[in-house]
Amino acid sequence: MNRFSSKTTNPTAQWRFPHPTAFANYLGIVRVVSMVVLLLIGWLDYITGYEIGFFIFYFIPVAIAAWYCGPKDGICIAIASAVCWYLSDRFTYHPYSRAYLIYWEMFIRLISFLTTAMTLSKIRNLVLSEERMTTELIKTRSQLSKYTGNFEVNRSEPSPLDTSKNNSK
């Protein structure tokens, strides 16, 4: 079946990953889950100490919030992730050669989290935009087929409007 076939009733049925609007009716729950996951990761980071890095795991709640809730929530969770990492690192008494280096680390992590949030939000918006355009295309093709009959054109046969091939006969 063609991807843009007019027989497709639900364009989202083709997704192999959870759709950005899968939890549209449960955004409050998604926000709470993101925060709980962040706090769990922060707690695990704290109890394991500064020698075991949990930096990569902080991207999970940022990604959840940015993908399902949008850029504002993604940015909020990104900032909360940086603060959570900072507190975990501070309370484990991670030694730094200079006192300001912990702030530099937090700033770099914040930039990483914000980049992830903004990138996933942009991809989310592109996916939703493509879906809207696909739906509009399917509607337009359906309406057009009402007026012209079958919209699918057999490419092996010459078009009746192609005068160059009709004149050569």
The pLDDT of residue 21: 80
The pLDDT of residue 104: 95
Which one-letter amino acid corresponds to residue 57? Answer: F
Sign of CA dihedral 83, 89, 93, 98: negative
H or E element that contains 29 = helix 27-48
Per-residue tens of pLDDT for the chain, all 169 residues: 444 444 445 555 555 657 888 788 889 999 999 999 999 999 999 999 888 888 999 999 999 999 999 999 999 999 999 999 999 999 998 899 998 999 999 999 999 999 999 999 999 999 999 999 999 999 998 888 888 866 555 445 555 545 555 454 4
Which one-letter amino acid corresponds to residue 147? Answer: Y
In terms of pTM, does the model score above 0.85?
Answer: no
Q: Is 22 exposed, middle or buried (0-12, 13-18, 19+ CB in 10 A)?
A: middle
Sorted by where each begins, the domain ranges of the chain are: 18-121
